[in-house]
Structure 1
Amino acid sequence: MNISGKRVLITGGSSGIGLALARALLAKNAKVAITGRRPDALSKAIEDLNGAGSPVTGVCADVSTPARRASTLERAIEALGGLDILVNNAGGVRAGRLEATAEADLQAMIDVDLVAPILLTRSALPALRASGDAMIVNVASGIALVGAPFYATYAAAKAGLARFGEALRRELKGEGVHVLTAYPGGTDTPMMQSNRAGPELGFSREPASAVADAIVEGIEADSFEVIRGGEARAQMIALNRDDPAAVDERFLGLKPALEGAVKDHSAL
């Protein structure tokens, strides 16, 4: 896909990967609208992005609610004059043992990480079809490929998003709408600030800009997926497929330290 001139809506675009992706797409001459739940963060992001050149539309909204999803899509399409790329990036996480996690937090992860992208995509499909050369980008997680202890519900939601994208890509094949799934690894974003796990526990972190650049390359190449984490991640994915018991044993040795390091990891 040639990104120049494409009209893009990025959910969760006021910080982290979403904000970095907005910058990267603007550098390719895309027209961009971003959403965010926090007015102050959204205003700052818009100010920063506008300072780089092309004007950016901001929509303050929680896309996990029906009314906000509808208004988000309406305002973005009106401002952009249509829609060519939808990036389902907004997400939330609450780590910890399943039985110690509040039901409201479990439901919030499912609503934000899985249900909202599905329903927003459904609503956006008429505009994307009208484009004739459109794409849906779903930002999942490396945990969708290799489940980690203390992230059971987050892994379930992100893996669900990944399989949703795969099935929808096949459903839409030949109809002018492609679907790409991104699997970031540990990324240096505000969402990760309350996670104290380091590389020794499998949480190496890279800049959000590196993830964004890889996603942009994937969009340009019409890729099916973008997986971050390098050779180490590729080896872990292969081991998880071929010998999952070995991965179980590896996590067994890390469990006490990992539980302590992620018990306060919350961004909902």
Structure 2
Amino acid sequence: MELKGKKVLLTGATGSIGKPLAQALARQGATLIVTDHSAHGLNELAVELRRTGGTVLPIPADLLIPQEVKQLADRVTSQTEGIDILINLAGMTSFNLFHQETETGIENLWRLNTLAPMQLTRLLLPHLLTQGSGLIVNIGSIYGSIGFPGFSAYSASKFALRGFSEALRRELDGTGVGVTYVAPRYVTPLIHTGAIHRMSKALKVPMDTPEQVAQKIIHAVTRNRHEYFIGFPESLIARINGIHPALVDGYVRKQLSVIRDFALGKR
């Protein structure tokens, strides 16, 4: 897919991956509609992109609020006459043993990671079908294919997003509208603190920078990939888990005591 001149709606645009992805899309000549919950952050991003010649429209929206998801879709269709590509990037992570999760935490996790992308897709899909072309890009996680201890709620939300992407891709076959699912592995945080980062270092988990992930997303989009798993050996383990999960059980079991210690704050 050629990105030059395409209108792209990017959610989570001011996040650690969102910003370098917006920059990469702008360099490719895309017209950007960027959204996030922070109006201030969006305006700063828009100024930066315009300074380098990018065309960008910032639309703040809190995707945890269903009404704001609908308002975002309405503003996109009314102010831009529709889009060519929707990139559902906005999301959140939760690292806890499952009994530590809260009701509100689980609901927010699912609302942002799964329900908001589904509802935004539902609202914008009629336009894409009418024009007979377009692409929906859902950014999941390697944990959407490998259920990992300490990430039960998060994994479930990303498993659901992957299943939605697969089913919708098959449903839209022949319409001119495609669906791409991209699964990053661990992404190096901007601030190297927190239990997840310390655990990942202790387990020697391979890490990618946000800029590397942004480039991989661009690659998946321009190459029309249906599914794209970022990183090795994670991509291989995800495939094995789909065929013979018992093999992955043994691999994860060796790490379980370390994961539990970090989740419980013992390290």
Structure 2 length as normaliser, TM-score? 0.90
Structure 1 stretch displaced more, 151-160 or 12-21: 12-21
Is the contact between residue 84 and residue 131 of structure 1 (CA under 8 Å) also seen in structure 2? no
Q: Deviations over 1:204-248 (max 9, x none)?
A: 221112111111122112110111012x11332244244423322
Shift of 1:79: 3.9
Shift of 1:200: 4.4
Report the Cα distance in structure 2 between the residues aligned to 1:193 and 1:41, rounded to whole angstroms: 22
Unpaired runs of 5+ residues, structure 1, are none
Letter matched to residue 256 of structure 1: S
Shift of 1:178: 0.2
Letter matched to residue 251 of structure 1: V
Over the aligned positions, Cα root-mean-square deviation in angstroms equals 2.0
Report the Cα distance in structure 2 between the residues aligned to 1:217 and 1:225, rounded to whole angstroms: 12
Is the contact between residue 3 and residue 25 of structure 1 (CA under 8 Å) also seen in structure 2? yes
Which residue does 1:249 correspond to in 2?
250
Is the contact between residue 64 and residue 111 of structure 1 (CA under 8 Å) also seen in structure 2? yes
Which residue does 2:34 correspond to in 1?
34
Report the Cα distance in structure 1 between the residues aligned to 2:192 and 2:170, rounded to whole angstroms: 33
Which residue does 1:19 correspond to in 2?
19
Shift of 1:55: 2.8
Aligned pairs for 1:51-90 within 5 A: 51-90=51-90
Indicate how the Cα distance of structure 1 residues 28 and 263 shifts in structure 2: closer, same or farther if over 3 A, else same. farther
Indicate how the Cα distance of structure 1 residues 191 and 173 shifts in structure 2: closer, same or farther if over 3 A, else same. farther
Report the Cα distance in structure 1 between the residues aligned to 2:259 and 2:170, rounded to whole angstroms: 38
Letter matched to residue 256 of structure 2: K
Which residue does 2:136 correspond to in 1?
136
Is the contact between residue 138 and residue 161 of structure 1 (CA under 8 Å) also seen in structure 2? yes
Unpaired runs of 5+ residues, structure 2, are none
Letter matched to residue 113 of structure 1: N
Which residue does 2:260 correspond to in 1?
259
Which residue does 1:165 correspond to in 2?
165
Which residue does 1:187 correspond to in 2?
187
Report the Cα distance in structure 2 between the residues aligned to 1:145 and 1:191, rounded to whole angstroms: 27
Structure 1 stretch displaced more, 150-159 or 250-259: 250-259
Letter matched to residue 68 of structure 2: R
Report the Cα distance in structure 1 between the residues aligned to 2:114 and 2:77, rounded to whole angstroms: 22
Report the Cα distance in structure 2 between the residues aligned to 1:82 and 1:5, rounded to whole angstroms: 13
Is residue 235 from structure 1 mapped to residue 236 from structure 2 by the alignment? yes
Report the Cα distance in structure 2 between the residues aligned to 1:189 and 1:60, rounded to whole angstroms: 23
Letter matched to residue 253 of structure 2: L
Is the contact between residue 27 and residue 54 of structure 2 (CA under 8 Å) also seen in structure 1? no
Q: Runs of 4+ in structure 1 displaced over 4 angstroms?
A: 190-193
Is residue 96 from structure 1 mapped to residue 99 from structure 2 by the alignment? no
Report the Cα distance in structure 2 between the residues aligned to 1:42 and 1:191, rounded to whole angstroms: 20
Shift of 1:147: 1.2
Letter matched to residue 125 of structure 2: L
Structure 1 stretch displaced more, 109-118 or 49-58: 49-58
Report the Cα distance in structure 2 between the residues aligned to 1:86 and 1:3, rounded to whole angstroms: 12
Report the Cα distance in structure 1 between the residues aligned to 2:154 and 2:41, rounded to whole angstroms: 24
Report the Cα distance in structure 2 between the residues aligned to 1:88 and 1:252, rounded to whole angstroms: 32
Letter matched to residue 218 of structure 1: A
Is residue 111 from structure 1 mapped to residue 92 from structure 2 by the alignment? no
Indicate how the Cα distance of structure 1 residues 225 and 202 shifts in structure 2: closer, same or farther if over 3 A, else same. farther
Q: Deviations over 1:83-139 (max 9, x none)?
A: 110111111122111111111101111111111111110001122223332000000
Q: Give the SS at the match of 1:34.
A: strand
Shift of 1:75: 2.4
Which residue does 1:226 correspond to in 2?
228
Shift of 1:252: 2.2
Report the Cα distance in structure 1 between the residues aligned to 2:57 and 2:3, rounded to whole angstroms: 18
Shift of 1:40: 3.3
Letter matched to residue 216 of structure 1: I
Which residue does 1:212 correspond to in 2?
214
Is the contact between residue 57 and residue 76 of structure 1 (CA under 8 Å) also seen in structure 2? no
Shift of 1:192: 8.1
Is the contact between residue 188 and residue 206 of structure 1 (CA under 8 Å) also seen in structure 2? yes
Which residue does 2:9 correspond to in 1?
9
Which residue does 1:203 correspond to in 2?
205
